[in-house]
Amino acid sequence: MGKFQSVFDIIGPIMVGPSSSHTAGAVKIGRATRYLFAEDIHYVKCHLYGSFAKTYKGHGTDVALIAGILGYNTDDERIIDALSHAKDQGIHVEFIEDYSAVPHPNTVRIEVMNATDHLELVGQSIGGGKVEIVELNGFNLNLSGNHPAILVMHNDRFGAIASVTEILARYEINIGRMEVNRKDVGKEALMTIELDQNIEPEVEAALRDAKHILRLAKVVD
Amino acid sequence: MFRTVKELIELAELKNTAIADLMIEREMALYELSYEDVFSRMESQLVVMEEAIERGLEGVRSVTGLTGGDAVKINKYLTEHEPLSGPILLDAVSKAVATNEVNAAMGKVCATPTAGSAGCVPGVLFAVKDRLHASREDMVKFLFTTGAFGLVVANNAFISGAQGGCQAEVGSASAMAAAAVVEMAGGTPEQSAHAFSITLKNMLGLICDPVAGLVEVPCVKRNALGASQAIVSADMALAGVKSVIPTDEVISAMYRVGQRMPVAFKETAEGGLAATPTGKRLAQEIFSNQTTK
């Protein structure tokens, strides 16, 4: 299966210009970051690579990433003023141009934090507004920001995966795609599950209570 | 399902159905949606395109002032003179420019397949619709046809300038539009594929070299000329002209050219027009203005 499936990946998104990969894609990566962190963000640091590093000012990639962090959509006309909105909300923002070699020309590494927590992810804007999250807190993964998804950090133990899939089955939630990564045998592992629908709070609570589950994050479509 | 243009054409011939309908069926099957869901979502994309054209024709200016106002000029010329290239061609040009000027001004557009190439498809569609007596439904279907071809390109090559140069963006967009014009004009699926190939072949090697890294110069005018080329290619295919190289091979050639294209020509603003003395001067002026703001 190719990376592009929906006709609306091609005829769309509806967006504020000027660049689908540098503006709309950046908004989506910012939004994914916000959903994954799921807490108040006090500080955002964006490391920009490749074409992102060279042209972010002209394309509004900086405003777009922060617009996403603020939860705006790709067609939100507030995008253009996102930096001042972030400032008003007390979010400190920093951009770093990094010229190290990266596999994809439009790559960003975003670090978000508050007093108690920290999250770091790497996103790629692969064209036409489509994005992929390829790294999360040191785990490699393959997550398109285009479907609802849950990310489950768990202990690499027998039954951890079964306990999650059993809950999803019980609530009749269909899994579109699933991937499991771990740093080492028996250590922390990460399940990436793309779903056909957003999950209800009830399901989320059940998942959080499941065996061997350490942490859960939702990406809402 | 289809992965290549060959499969798409065979499927359309086998089922004796339009490419647009195949695309709608596939979308319905993949996401378990009704015909109305899929169709109405595309209809809303059409509305955004129409609004962008209207706004551009009223006259917009980008933040940098590099682009804007040309759609108005072309449209005025079009009403006061008899254009050498013909009214439909120049109408497509003015509407493509209008769309891309709105995009450059951080206005709302529908990416087709990208924002930088957002002018070709609507420019062509809104220019040919009256001549081809297209209903609103036909216009929505036009977009599904462009999407079907675009999906094949996106999955077998690329559609972004950063990955494959402008051939991947305006090249794909204008080829997609050419294929859809053929279908709207009553041509065969095979003729659609030829129109697609004829267009993309002429775009091979086109670099992405935006001045100051902005989607303005030369992007706006490349969309304009891409749109004009789509209509010419469609006419050629409808006349029975065939592409000697099959469409899927043209797409794969575009992919290989893009892979070997130096990074300087992939939206990094380090080569081509961006690296000319004027291009560099403009970049400097724009960024010094930004920091003093």
- Domains in chain B: boundaries: 5-292
Beta bridge partners of A110: A46, A121
Average pLDDT over residues B101-126: 96
Return the CATH architecture of domain A8-144: 2-Layer Sandwich (3.30)
Residue type, B51: E
Q: Which of B23, B103, B147 faces A18 most closely, judged by CB atoms?
A: B103
Cα separation of A53 and A37, whole Å?
A: 24
CB atoms within 10 A of CB A128: 29
Reply yes or no on whether the pLDDT at B290 is more than 70: no
CA distance B60 to B101: 7
Cβ <8 Å between A15 and B109: yes
Please indicate if any CB of chain B lies within 8 Å of the CB of A197: no
Instruction: Please say if the pLDDT value at position A1 is more than 60.
Output: no
pLDDT in tens, A161-206: 999 999 999 999 999 899 998 878 878 899 999 998 888 889 999 9
Least confident of B15-29, B63-77, B278-292: B278-292
Question: Can you give the pLDDT at residue B289?
Answer: 62
Q: In this structure, which topology does domain B5-292 adopt according to CATH?
A: 2-methylcitrate dehydratase PrpD (1.10.4100)
Assess contact for B83 and A49: CB atoms under 8 A: no
Is the Cβ pair A14, B110 closer than 8 Å? yes
How do the domains of chain A map onto residue ranges? Answer: 8-144, 149-219
Do residues A210 and A177 touch, judged by C-beta distance below 8 A?
Answer: no
Please name the member of A16, A50, A105 whose beta carbon is closest to the beta carbon of B106: A16
Interface test with A, best of B40, B44, B114, B220 (most A CBs within 10 A): B114
- In eight-state DSSP terms, residue B217 is T
Task: Tally A–B CB contacts below 8 A.
Answer: 172
Please tell me the distance from the alpha carbon of residue B23 to that of residue B5, in angstroms, as a whole number. Answer: 12
Whether A20 has its CB under 8 Å from any CB of chain B: the answer is yes
Q: CA angle, corner A12, sides to A6 and A16, nearest 5?
A: 150
pLDDT score for B293: 38
Q: What whole-number distance in Å separates Cα of residue A26 and Cα of residue A42?
A: 19
In this model, does residue A141 exceed pLDDT 90? Answer: no
Burial classification of residue B43, based on how many CB atoms lie within 10 Å of its CB (0-12 exposed, 13-18 middle, 19 or more buried): middle
Cβ contact, residue pair B41, A75, below 8 Å: no
- Higher pLDDT residue, A215 or B200? B200
- In this predicted structure, the answer to whether residue B251 has a pLDDT above a threshold of 60 is yes
Instruction: Flag if B27 and A126 touch (Cβ within 8 Å).
Output: no
| Percent over 70 (pLDDT), chain A | 98
Quote ipTM for the complex.
Answer: 0.95
**Residues of chain B above pLDDT 70, percent:** 98
Name the architecture of domain A149-219.
2-Layer Sandwich (3.30)
Q: What is the pLDDT of residues A29-81, one digit of tens each?
A: 999 899 888 789 999 999 999 889 888 887 889 999 999 999 999 999 899 89
pLDDT mean across residues, chain B:
96
**What's the pTM?**
0.86
Please indicate if any CB of chain A lies within 8 Å of the CB of B148: yes
Mean pLDDT of chain A: 90
The reply to whether A149-219 shares the fold of A8-144 is no
